[in-house]
């Protein structure tokens, strides 16, 4: 993100599983068990990463569990306006569904109803972060804190409207900004934020054009927003406000917010954008500004920690089916046909995995989390030869971040600070052509990259619902006085999470998860190592 890229917490350098030591766990002789041992080691590595955030935890201490829970509660306690303004006085909420029209300034102190409404969330409501009680680190998908896989309850804040709010609607100027790349559902979130703000009684709502750039570029004017403006924007893809990567220094963004009188900021973006949002939140606190900064995770790759999924992901998987089906028809219709589909996923292979499962037409699925060989007795090309001999055709699905070790490193960065990736799809296409030409076997290879077609599409029904609820809960969180938070879905419930806890490193596909095992069962592919 240019000036904001330095704010991102460095990613954990998780080694490839086939290179990982066993960390004292018994080694096994069979290839399947060796792989399982490495997976267990990876789980313990991730647990160690968690423990690093809790430096006082000693697993030999009989009270370590309660200490860990207290530390977890501390880390996941979400920032509130009363942390900086302890004398802040809440007022009765202006949000109540007994009213069917937005509140006016006449009701800024409450809603015009004598009846008690039971639709509010208690501030002490919590959602359980992990719901499976794993009893062994060797269990498929096990997420363990200690080597014995002890069950530890971890609770996070439930999202939703509160009975007391800390902002008077008539004094609020709310701004929305969309950063990074396009993603299905951006307009849906914008629309619902605006609608919910108006229900609270907010009159001043603006959009900041073209990401964080819009705070500093004098040629870009903020866009007034209202329900009338956003009523139908969810019917098309893209972002009404535009997007861009990078942006000015944080101090300039906060200066601009002060000048404009913005005291609620809703930021839609991925890890880098959220790092910027957290820095804005911290700078506002440093300046003693009464501002709520709330994020809505936007990543089509589904690589945000602790959340079931992020918006745009379901649409991406659904739209990927069209490309996969086209690749299948091309391959199936040709003599020794091979179809290659490259899907999004810089560091996480969720789209490729789920698209492969959904289509049922993929023979080989390659993801960034797992190393694979192209050549050799167990390589992709050897298995592809087997598929052509037995099936007559094959379809390969590859995530964009997979196999980057095969490509020449450029060290180039985009405006968000992300490494510019080589095109693994083109590389595999050329390797297939060269290999089969070398062994005298004719092959017809078709390569499809639907990335921008998928990113620009309209959200499907599943994502539309997710976007609607995320937008609503973002506004509820801001009015409740929370800042430096992001909203997400966890175990089917909507929650508020502190931004630093979700941007530590990308969420990855667990190669020992049941979902990856299901993908392998569907494709029938070997390990390629």
Whole-Å CA distances, 435 to 328, 342, 372, 388, 424: 21, 20, 17, 13, 16
User: Which of helix, strand or coil describes residue 232?
Assistant: coil
* Spatial separation of the C-alpha atoms in residues 175 and 141, rounded to whole Å: 40
Say what the pLDDT of residue 136 is.
Answer: 93
Instruction: Return binding residues.
Output: 181, 245-246, 270-273, 299-301, 344-346, 400, 452-455
Nearest residue to 473 via CA among 251, 278, 192: 192
Whole-Å CA distances, 219 to 20, 143, 301: 52, 50, 32
Domains and CATH numbers, the chain: 69-105+118-308+459-505 (3.40.50.450), 313-457 (3.40.50.460)
Q: Tell me how far apart the 2 most distant CA atoms of the chain are, in Å.
A: 84
User: Which of helix, strand or coil describes residue 471?
Assistant: helix
Say what the pLDDT of residue 25 is.
Answer: 29
* DSSP symbols for 28-79: -SSHHHHHHHHHHHHHHHHHHHHHHT-TT--TTSTTHHHHHHHHHHHHTPPP
Whole-Å CA distances, 262 to 16, 25, 470: 45, 55, 21
N residues, the chain: 529
Q: At a CB cut-off of 8 Å and minimum separation 6, what does 108 contact?
A: 91, 94, 168, 169, 170, 201
Structure tokens at 255: 């200066």
Instruction: Return binding residues for substrate.
Output: 299-301, 344-346, 400, 452-455
Cα of 36 vs its chain's centroid, Å? 27
8-state DSSP, 10: P
In this structure, what are the phi and psi dihedrals at residue 280, rounded to the nearest 5 degrees? -65, -45
* Spatial separation of the C-alpha atoms in residues 473 and 189, rounded to whole Å: 10
Calculate Rg over the CA atoms of the chain. 25
Cα of 34 vs its chain's centroid, Å? 31
Nearest residue to 435 via CA among 495, 373, 486, 355: 373
Q: Yes or no: say if 463 and 184 are a contact pair by the CB < 8 Å rule.
A: yes
> Is 61 a catalytic site residue?
no
User: Which of helix, strand or coil describes residue 448?
Assistant: strand
Cα of 310 vs its chain's centroid, Å? 5
* Spatial separation of the C-alpha atoms in residues 437 and 153, rounded to whole Å: 57
Whole-Å CA distances, 205 to 99, 108, 171, 194, 497: 21, 17, 11, 7, 24
Q: Yes or no: say if 498 and 76 are a contact pair by the CB < 8 Å rule.
A: yes
Element (H, E) at 268: strand 264-269
Number of C-beta neighbours around residue 331 at 10 A: 26
Which residue is catalytic, options 188, 301, 314, 510?
A: 301
Whole-Å CA distances, 315 to 185, 215, 267, 355: 9, 30, 21, 11
Element (H, E) at 466: helix 461-479
Q: 């998908």: which residue's tokens? A: 141
Q: Yes or no: say if 336 and 392 are a contact pair by the CB < 8 Å rule.
A: yes
Question: Taking phi first (over 0 means left), then psi (-120 to 50 degrees means alpha), and beta for anything else, what does residue 382 get?
Answer: alpha
Q: At a CB cut-off of 8 Å and minimum separation 6, what does 377 contact?
A: none
Q: Yes or no: say if 147 and 137 are a contact pair by the CB < 8 Å rule.
A: yes
Q: 């096994």: which residue's tokens? A: 28
Question: pTM value?
Answer: 0.87
Number of C-beta neighbours around residue 73 at 10 A: 13
Element (H, E) at 380: helix 380-390
β-strand partners of 364? 396
Say what the pLDDT of residue 524 is.
Answer: 96
8-state DSSP, 214: G
* Spatial separation of the C-alpha atoms in residues 473 and 205, rounded to whole Å: 17
Q: At a CB cut-off of 8 Å and minimum separation 6, what does 228 contact?
A: none
β-strand partners of 394? 338
The per-residue pLDDT string of the chain (529 residues; one tens digit each, 9 = 90 and over) reads 444 544 443 333 333 333 232 222 223 333 343 444 444 444 444 443 343 344 467 888 999 999 999 999 999 999 999 999 999 999 999 987 766 555 555 555 555 554 577 889 999 999 999 999 999 999 999 999 999 999 999 999 999 999 999 999 999 999 999 999 999 999 999 999 999 999 999 999 999 999 999 999 989 999 999 999 999 999 999 999 999 988 899 999 999 999 999 999 999 999 999 999 999 999 999 999 999 999 999 999 999 999 999 999 999 999 999 999 999 999 999 999 999 999 999 999 999 999 999 999 999 999 999 999 999 999 999 999 999 999 999 999 999 999 999 988 777 777 667 778 889 999 999 999 999 999 999 999 999 999 999 999 999 999 999 999 999 999 999 999 999 999 999 999 999 999 999 998 999 999 999 999 999 999 999 999 8
* Spatial separation of the C-alpha atoms in residues 174 and 303, rounded to whole Å: 28
User: Which of helix, strand or coil describes residue 490?
Assistant: strand
């Amino acid at each position: 993100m240019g000036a904001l890229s330095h704010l991102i917490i460095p990613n954990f350098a998780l080694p490839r599983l086939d290179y990982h030591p066993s960390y004292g766990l018994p080694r096994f002789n069979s290839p399947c068990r060796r792989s399982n041992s490495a997976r267990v080691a990876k789980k313990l590595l991730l647990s160690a990463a968690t423990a690093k955030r809790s430096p006082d935890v000693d697993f030999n201490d009989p009270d370590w569990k309660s200490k860990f829970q207290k530390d977890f509660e501390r880390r996941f306690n979400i920032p509130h306006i009363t942390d900086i303004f302890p004398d802040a006085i809440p007022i009765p909420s202006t949000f109540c569904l007994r009213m069917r029209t937005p509140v006016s300034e006449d009701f800024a102190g409450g809603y015009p109803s004598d009846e008690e409404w039971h639709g509010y969330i208690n501030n002490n409501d919590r959602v359980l972060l992990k719901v499976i009680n794993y009893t062994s680190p060797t269990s498929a998908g096990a997420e363990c804190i200690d080597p014995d896989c002890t069950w530890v309850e971890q609770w996070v804040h439930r999202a939703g409207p509160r009975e007391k709010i800390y902002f008077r609607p008539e004094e609020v100027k709310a701004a929305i900004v969309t950063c990074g790349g396009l993603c299905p559902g951006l307009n849906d979130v914008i629309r619902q934020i605006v609608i919910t703000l108006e229900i609270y009684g907010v009159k001043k709502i603006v959009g900041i054009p073209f990401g964080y750039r819009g705070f500093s570029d004098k040629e870009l004017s903020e866009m007034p927003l209202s329900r009338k403006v956003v009523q139908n924007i969810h019917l098309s893809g893209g972002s009404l406000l535009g997007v861009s990567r990078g942006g000015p220094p944080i101090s300039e963004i906060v200066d601009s917010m002060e000048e404009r009188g913005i005291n609620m900021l809703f930021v839609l973006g991925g890890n880098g954008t959220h790092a910027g949002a957290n820095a804005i939140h911290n700078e506002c606190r440093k300046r003693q500004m009464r501002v709520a900064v709330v994020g809505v995770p936007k990543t089509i790759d589904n690589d945000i920690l602790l959340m079931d999924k992020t918006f745009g992901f379901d649409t991406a998987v659904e739209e990927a089916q069209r490309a996969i089906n086209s690749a299948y028809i091309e391959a199936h219709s040709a003599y020794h046909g091979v179809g290659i589909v490259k899907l999004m996923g810089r560091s996480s292979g969720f789209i490729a995995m789920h698209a492969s499962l959904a289509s049922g037409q993929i023979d080989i699925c390659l993801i960034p989390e797992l190393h694979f060989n192209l050549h050799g007795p167990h390589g992709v090309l050897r298995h592809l030869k087997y598929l052509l001999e037995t099936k007559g055709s094959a379809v390969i699905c590859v995530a964009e971040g997979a196999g980057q070790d095969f490509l020449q490193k450029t060290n180039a960065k985009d405006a968000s600070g992300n490494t510019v990736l080589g095109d693994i799809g083109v590389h595999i296409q050329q390797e297939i052509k060269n290999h089969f030409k070398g062994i005298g076997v004719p092959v017809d290879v078709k390569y499809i990259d639907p990335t921008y077609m998928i990113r620009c599409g309209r959200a499907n029904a599943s994502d539309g619902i997710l976007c609607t609820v995320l937008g609503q809960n973002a506004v509820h969180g801001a009015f409740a006085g929370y800042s430096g938070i992001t909203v997400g879905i966890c175990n089917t419930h909507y929650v508020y999470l502190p931004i630093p806890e979700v941007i530590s490193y990308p969420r990855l596909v667990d190669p020992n998860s049941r979902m990856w095992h299901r993908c392998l069962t569907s494709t029938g592919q070997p390990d390629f190592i």
